[in-house]
Structure 1
């Protein structure tokens, strides 16, 4: 019996063995996916409720048993917090683009990284959000459809926590679980002590302080907090934050009294990592400190927690308690220093693939 050595495409289409009018997929590309926390689509009640529901339903974020947490979430939080959060977002909203600053900066970071890697024509750079849109699942599928057989997924969190890096990894892996043909993958690890990151932070601080008419007596590194119970269960986040502050202090040549570490954004009745930023700012002012600066080394991009909570609210607390000079040092965002960090780490993980 003679068997054909190759399939005739026209004959195969006729019997349904090949999709009719399905364009060929050109494989062999490498994707780089930048992922940040997330953002609501708008400041209205419905958009905020949808975003908060997704965020606060994540078991990595809220580890309470569902039987205890869901009645609180759906009975209280999602009925009261959307309006308050929407008002806060409205204060920092990018009205020109009708989006949050986090979306604006993350998009720009992806675009600038793509330009930096333009020498490699087979590299495709894109971005996604853990909560909200564009989703990790949607963008991962898009990268595959564009021919990416390999993907480097980059969680934009300098310090590792199960509440941030791990949940991004979870979502990415869940997207892969639904695929019959999966890409080869790499994930960028936390980079709390990477020299390029420490140097970028130091330069951003030096450049900002050089433009002030006053010299801060104390500079606060304010990180997003996590419940102390998470830390006790083995989350390395607190240690990573302390290491970043220590290395930055050494690079700047500052004392432990000059640069201090605090934690912000606590939520719920549990004890969180301390000292708390808001309490510390107030305490410093009441003790006679007149000038301080605050920066957020745990945030890659400025967002609600940095612009509204620190630049706005913390500044008001400090002045109300007797302080005089307050400044917020912006996040690295899409600055040259910030992009040097992202590009350096992306190129390292792309090694051997480009």
Structure 2
């Protein structure tokens, strides 16, 4: 019975009816594979038929020092883009889709949310022969981790505020676009919780949107965030004749935009004033980590983009007379594999040993408050810092509804509109035979997954090993 229950969770819990766990990008045909186009050294040719990924805003230089000087952007090119946009506005019904992680809104949501997270093949990347076990492993990990995660969410009020904040950001972006004479419907699609991306896409279709800009709320691109969400979108669009013909532009990353950089610098400079000696406070950038294998084996540009992002923010601060020392570390690692270093917790202890007394934490990869800022940074890391000898602790709030930030996101949308293009040829949508084949494969996977789940449940050593690594 328990083994069957584990394998029955192969499909993500509480997803819209009919949703299937997307295959990992390595399983897809190359013609439907989304590649990250980045001028930071990860350029790859875009296969025919893939999503048009655009990177608008200030031009990105190979030399990051040149980029820092050009981050202010070119107003004349913006005017040209705006002029082109006007023609699209007159012809199209415009939609903007904001993508985000999602989060459990109650403690009862925690375990199914974790299941959806770990069932994502871009989060837990299994070798091809074992990919049919994705759901079984996700179920096991989510059950093991749920008690500790519930404690974290209970500490911040019993649930994540991410949906509320993202909805507010959507409303603010819509108003900012209206102020620029751009009428657009703004939608929110979450990857692992309500409202799911699938729900947002169905509403986009219902509203008969004819031109769409996809804006992931992640400043830096990573396979596990923007990449995962794009993969789901691609799967949805390729199966629907109407959606397949809708011109789409995806803003894959925007950490180098003038509005983002200056908004971050504004918040940092403001929070430094809360220290008795602002110049003595070290600026501590804490970013969400990713496994090293993503960067070294899969070409994930996240680490490089993060380092360039920190450089640009610090250059902006220095230009304002803020020469403080700074350091970058990575938080939120999970499991036994190696993640990007240095680790936030280890750096805090080391800084205390070195005599650092004042520290300003900056959650650089998060634009909304959620558990990793409110609980992990504000509670766990703050306590660790004080125990390690750091006496003065401060934290920069997430950007949230900062006006300059919202305005810049609206500008990014406007700049991207002219470059939108259809993802698929509508005549090339997935056939019913393909769907039948998927159903057969699902049954086979569920059968073998049940067998493995039964073995795992009868193996205390295996359970203890997982528990030691995951808790």
TM range (shorter): 0.7 to 0.9
Match of 1:227 among 291, 299, 313: 291
Check whether the contact 2:331–2:345 (CA below 8 A) recurs between aligned residues. yes
Q: Secondary structure at the match of 2:122?
A: coil
Q: Which residue of 2 aligns with 1:246?
A: 311
Moved more, 265-274 or 209-218: 209-218
In the other structure, the counterpart of 2:78 is: none
1:118 matched to which residue of 2?
Answer: 178
Change (3 A) 1:195 1:351: same
- Aligned residue pairs: how many? 320
1:326 aligns to 2:326 (yes or no) = no
Partner of 2:252: 189
- Residue 282, structure 1, aligned to residue 349, structure 2: yes
From the superposition, tell whether residues 261 and 255 of structure 1 become closer, same or farther in structure 2 (CA, over 3 Å): farther
Q: Distance in 2 between matches of 1:323 and 1:41?
A: 34
Partner secondary structure for residue 107 of structure 2: coil
Question: Do the aligned partners of residues 304 and 214 (structure 1) sit closer, same or farther apart at CA in structure 2, a change above 3 Å counting?
Answer: farther
Mapping of residues 261-300 of structure 1, within 5 Å: 261-300=328-367
Q: Structure 1 pair 192/205, CA: closer, same or farther in 2 (3 Å)?
A: same
1:32 equivalent in alignment to 2:96: yes
Measured in 2, the distance between the counterparts of 1:224 and 1:53 equals 20
- Provide the residue aligned with 1:51 in structure 2: 113
Question: CA offset at residue 286 of structure 1?
Answer: 2.0
Q: Is the Cα contact below 8 Å between 1:41 and 1:133 reproduced in 2?
A: no
The Cα of 1:63 is off from its aligned counterpart by 1.1
CA distance in 2, matches of 1:184, 1:312: 44
CA contact (8 A) 1:55 1:61 kept: yes
Q: Which has the higher strand share?
A: 1
CA displacement 1:170-193 (0-9 Å, x = unmatched): 111122123121221111121122
Structure 2 residue aligned with 1:12: none
Give the secondary structure class of the aligned counterpart of 2:145.
helix
1:232-251, CA deviations, whole angstroms, 9 ceiling, x for partnerless residues?
A: 01111110000001111111
Secondary structure in 2 aligned to 1:38?
coil
The equivalent position to 2:233 in structure 1, one of 172, 175, 181, is 172
TM-score (ref. length: structure 1): 0.84
RMSD between superposed Cα atoms in Å = 2.2
Given the superposition, is the C-alpha separation of residues 352 and 273 from structure 1 closer, same or farther in structure 2, using an over 3 Å criterion? Answer: closer
Distance across 1 between alignment mates of 2:117 and 2:134: 13
Larger displacement relative to structure 2 (336-345 or 114-123): 114-123
CA distances 1:136-189 after superposition (whole Å, capped 9, x unpaired): 111111022112111111111111111111111011112212312122111112
Q: CA offsets per residue over residues 179-212 of structure 1, 9 Å max, x none?
A: 1212211111211222221111101111222244
Out of 378, 384, 395, the position equivalent to 1:317 is 384
CA pair 350-126 structure 1, distance change in 2 beyond 3 A: same
Shift of 1:334: 1.3
Matched residue, 1:13: none
Which of 114, 126, 132 is 1:64 aligned to? 126
